[in-house]
Amino acid sequence: MTAEREIIAAIRARAPRFRGGVRIGIGDDCAVLQPKPGHELVVTTDMVLEGRHFRREWHSPESVGHRCMARGLSDIAAMGATPLAVFLSIAVPAALAEPGRGQGSGKPSWIDRFTDGLLALAMEHKVTLAGGDTAESPGGVLTDIVVLGEAPKGEALLRSGAKAGDVIYVTGALGGSAAELAALERSPRWRAEARGLAKAEDGMHPQLFPQPRIAAGLTLRRRGLAKAAIDVSDGLSTDLDHLCEESKLRAEVDAAALPVHPLAMQAEQRGWAPSALKLALNGGEDYELLFTARPETRVPKQIAGVPVQAIGRMLPANALKPRMMLRNADGSTEPLAAKGWEHFRKG
Ligand SMILES: [Mg+2]
């Protein structure tokens, strides 16, 4: 067997199959999917590049696998959809597929541990790995994940559903992921701990093991609470800007209302990052849900076990004014620019 076929066989042997949705999975030319009657498919694709989205010195293989899956699932969550199937294409340098590959007593390879992280999260959300591709990479690791989900026809949550007057909400806390990235960069102790980390509880390592808000997204759709939604992948300011653009509205955010992650506070105190507020506004990869609800809608303080916080409001479009404003604690306002930062971007 070629190394590629061995990798596929090893992944296939461990990939869980869940009932419904996937009629034919790994092993045929195509997967055969069957969404529930009256449902539509939602599809998202996400590429992850070593050195761009993660560093092998900082992120354990399990973390890379988990994050790869989390990115895809987070988009499904933002649509209020149920994940059905995932397709994974991965290119790794030959050395990362050796030794062991999970057969016999050898140490697990990098790709074994990557698969552990990816499948652990897939199992948590009962999504079937239904296909993919592997190749040897001449350089670093590259993965491309496709996740399919289903939602009742016409009911998927969209970025375009907001109206002027809607209240803006966010789940969980913001800035933790970027704060942990700063910690990985600045703190040798943090790096040492991260290296062996195979999993983490929700919120403890927001950069290494973010939690996609699938259950919260489903509740927002089923109960008709959210009118527009997006996941916070690039950073609140950038993702809110997308929502404003698609809904053709402006927005105002209350700085004092932002649920700043405790790790972002810590990063500011320790000098790992200049401002916790900036991390919450612009630090991406939180994978929380940003959504709007009509002002008369009673939105619970907690949804599917995740805190929910009102952080601002949608305003009518006005070409003469900035698209987003930030209201400071003293009542003053300033324009809010979309500054979600891209990790490892130079200059
Ligand atoms: Mg998204």
Q: What is the pLDDT of residue 102?
A: 47
98 Cα–ligand 1 center, Å: 34
246 Cα–ligand 1 center, Å: 13
Q: In this prediction, what percent of the chain has a pLDDT beyond 70?
A: 95
Closest to 174 (Cα-Cα) out of 82, 78, 278: 278
Tokens of 132: 């993919």
Please report, as a single letter, which amino acid is at residue 136: E
199 Cα–ligand 1 center, Å: 23
**Residues facing residue 171 across a β-bridge:** 308
4 Cα–ligand 1 center, Å: 31
pTM of the complete model beyond 0.85: yes
230 Cα–ligand 1 center, Å: 6
Q: What is the pLDDT of residue 104?
A: 53
Q: What is the pLDDT of residue 341?
A: 63
Tokens of 111: 């790709």
Low-confidence ranges of the chain (pLDDT < 70): 1-2, 99-106, 341-347
235 Cα–ligand 1 center, Å: 11
**Is 276 within 8 Å of 175 (Cβ atoms)?**
yes
CA-based max dimension of the chain: 67
331 Cα–ligand 1 center, Å: 31
170 Cα–ligand 1 center, Å: 14
Report d(CA 301, CA 287) in Å as an integer: 19
Q: What is the pLDDT of residue 101?
A: 45
149 Cα–ligand 1 center, Å: 14
Structural domains present in the chain: 3-152 (3.30.1330.10), 167-335 (3.90.650.10)
CA dihedral 147→152→156→161, nearest 10 degrees, is 170
Report d(CA 116, CA 204) in Å as an integer: 19
